[in-house]
Structure formats: structure tokens, C-alpha cells
Amino acid sequence: MTTRPPRRVAFVDSGIGLLGYADALRALRPDLELVLALDPDHMPYGPRSPGEVRELILASAAAAAELEPVALVVACNTASVHGLEALRAELEPGLPVIGTVPAIRPAATTGGPVSIWSTAATSSSDYLRGLVDAFASEVETHSIAALGLAEAVEAVDPAEIDRAIGAALAETPADTRALVLGCTHYGLVADRISAALNSRGSEVTIFDSPVAVARQTLRRIGLEPEEAAVPTRTAPIVLLSGRRGELPERLRLYPQGARLLGGPAPGAGPRPTLAS
């Protein structure tokens, strides 16, 4: 009797932004094994040149591919912009590669105004302007650089996270109806962002893309969501700049990190509306 090999899905990012995407896939298919490839030696990717980002994400993907995943998810907006084409040329069709795009299209269906929080580099990029022109040209949009938020999330610094959220909120128009999280890190603190919005009486729907990316990943590998599937007993395999490692316990501050580490997640505010 032969044993069916494990079906693994790999996630690559410069830092912990991939946690929300891995958690979303596990919610839809708890029987899949996970590979989490972070690059702490070279993060953050935002200030780096496109060529540097491309080479770094190719190296992370190569290390993850050695573990024979059935799909690879680029859970990083910067890496998706600069490295997705190269990754697909290198790995497909043998290994499907799924990128990440901010959820501007579904946010635009609210009628606006739409505010988009992202890193400083992304907020002024041709990439973001192209997405707005393609999917939200008919609604009022505002691009806000959430300065320091990704770094605070990566450092798991609650006080600095709240400071950065407050600063971004101060730049966000009061009549905003939809808020797009344009950095994969931001979804880890969506509960804090929601609480900050509620504190000023704003009725804002938060849009993030982990669920949409998880569903696209399943489509690419020919699987349907099956939330009742028998969960894998295997902990995620963690790669740190290509080396085997472990997720730090401090990531339990985030519900997604707590679930991936195993054990109860901390209390959180309302779950944001996710693009699907």
C-alpha cells in the first residue's frame, strides 16, 4: 500500500505578511500542508530596486520549491509587482505561481470614496495608479502612505502599530466608505484598524485579499474549498532566508499567527470584509 505524498502550498514574502494568506488557505483546506518562506536577511523589499527584489524572491522561491509544493503564493505586493513574471517564467507550468493584488476592484463596487493604505513606495507607484485606472476610475480614490505600519507589524510592537494606524487614519478622508489594505502586513492588524475607524464613527468596509488569493490558489491546483477536511497534523515548515527555522512565539499577538502556531487566538475586533 502506497502512502499519498503530502500536498503542500508554499508562501513567500520578505516578512510575516504571508501569515494572513496562509491562514486563509488553511481555513478553506485544513488538510493542506504549508511552507512559509520568509526573508529576514533582506527585508524590507520596498526600498530595494526592482532587480534586487526579483533576485531575492527567485531565491526564496527556489528554496521553497525544493520542498515540492503543488503551488507557490507570492504573498507580497512588492514582490508580485517586480518578481511575478520572472517566477512564472522560471517555475510554470510545473509549479503554479499565484500573485497578490490589492482588492481595489471589489472596493470600487461600494461607490466610493475609496482609500488605499500602502507603503510609501507603493502609494506613489505606477503599479498602484494602474490598478486604480483599471478598476476604480469611476470612483473617488485616495492613496495614503501608512508610514511605519508594516515595520511596526513586523516588529510586533502594539504601541507603534496603534501610532502608525492613527497617523494613517488622520490622512484618510472622513467620508471614506471602503478601505483597501495595500500591504500584506496590514491584514494582521485589521482588527485594530477596524477599531480605530469605529472610534471616529466611520462606517467603513475594509477590503483585503487573502481569501481571494486562497480561492485562486485552490482553482490553480484543481481543488474545491473543503473546510471540513481532516486537518493536517503537520506544523508549517518555516524557511528563514532559505534556512529551516520556526515562527517566533511573539506572533501569537496576531490571530492568524496564533492559529498557525497552534492554540487559541487572542480576542479580536470585527473581522474585516475580505475580497473573494
Question: Which residues are designated catalytic?
Answer: 76, 183
Angle (CA) 122-123-128 rounded to 5° is 70
Cell of 140: 473617488
The owner of cell 470600487 is 108
**Which residue bears the cell 522561491?**
61
**Cα 265-159-250 angle, rounded to 5 deg:** 40
Which residues are within 8 A (CB) of 76 and not within 5 positions of it... i.e. 6 or more apart? Answer: 12, 13, 14, 17, 18, 45, 57, 100, 184
Instruction: Determine the 3-state secondary structure of 218 from DSSP.
Output: helix
Q: What are the backbone angles phi and psi of residue 26, rounded to the nearest 5°?
A: -65, -35
